[in-house]
Amino acid sequence: MVEAVLLNSAAVDEVTAFYLKYAREEILYPHDLKWMKDHLGTDFFLMGIRIDGELVAVAWAAQLKDFVYFTVENEALLIHNNGPYAYSGGWCVQPNDRGLGLFKLLAATINLFWFTEISENENLILWGRMVGQKDNDGNPLFWNKVGKMVTGLSYQDLLTLPFGTMEKTIFARWPKEPMPFKNIPQDIFERALGKTYEPLVGPLNAFIKWGLVEVTNRFVPTSLNRFHFTTKDSIPDPQKFFDQALLKTLNSLGS
């Protein structure tokens, strides 16, 4: 039996254990169980896929306070903070169940729940991104070579910050005047700007093919990869999209 569910506080411990087992430090999610339980259903939402009761995929969506990003202007990077925004992250599929159509089903689940049950604002945009280029240690290449030097904070330092405060901290420490390209090591800049982590290029292309996301020229401060966004109109019939994704998973399972 395959179920797509909007998870409640009773699942918080299970979700945390799932992330600890499969996500390590590659996927951002709240580490404070009390915070999750206090915010769940208000400005933080968990969505998951179960197969025969077992949680096999999970993601979150949240109302966050600081939308921090770079734009490229006059051969320089300029940082911005647009304030409150909605963001989806923490996408994780259990390794043994990848290739069953669960990625599409997770995307369909988030889209369906967010735009039909959670959000009452017809014009609300749901932002997201894929992981950007990594250094040899698995941390963001751009942050390791540039961000750490500029802010004095390593990526590991950023990960210790309370959930939802990383972006505000980066904005507070980053110079507000434009950073010329010439001040950024050219090999790092060329390898990172607008680039998605290679194993995730396929999923991003699938997003684009489905019409689920629009890729922008707003760049993630830690990695310099691109933000993308989804609107209520990205998938004209979210229930049909969900049903098609579910059928694909059921066929993969031989159900």
Question: Which run of H or of E encompasses 91?
Answer: strand 85-93
Q: What is the pLDDT of residue 185?
A: 93
Residues 147, 192: Cα–Cα separation, whole Å: 12
Cα-trace Rg, the chain: 18
Q: What is the DSSP letter of 203?
A: H
Q: What is the pLDDT of residue 24?
A: 72
Q: What is the pLDDT of residue 21?
A: 92
pLDDT digits (tens, 9 = 90+) for 90-142: 999 998 888 878 999 999 999 999 998 898 777 889 999 999 999 988 899 99
219 pLDDT higher than 90: yes
Residue 204's CB is within 10 A of a number of other CB atoms, namely 18
Q: What is the pLDDT of residue 176?
A: 96
pLDDT digits (tens, 9 = 90+) for 134-186: 998 889 999 999 999 999 999 999 999 999 999 999 999 999 999 999 999 99
Of the given ranges (119-128, 181-190, 227-236, 240-249), which has the lowest mean pLDDT?
119-128
Of 46, 43, 34, which is closest to residue 63 (Cα–Cα)? 43
Partners of residue 85 on adjacent β-strands: 64
Q: Who's near 210: CB < 8 A, 6+ residues apart?
A: 104, 107, 235, 241
Number of residues assigned to the chain: 255
Q: What is the pLDDT of residue 119?
A: 85
Confirm if 195 and 104 have CB atoms less than 8 A apart.
Answer: no
Q: What is the pLDDT of residue 255?
A: 60
Q: What is the pLDDT of residue 174?
A: 98
243 pLDDT higher than 80: yes
- Structural tokens at position 104: 């599409």
pLDDT digits (tens, 9 = 90+) for 45-91: 999 999 999 999 999 999 999 999 999 999 999 999 999 999 999 99
Q: What is the pLDDT of residue 124?
A: 87
Q: What is the DSSP letter of 134?
A: B
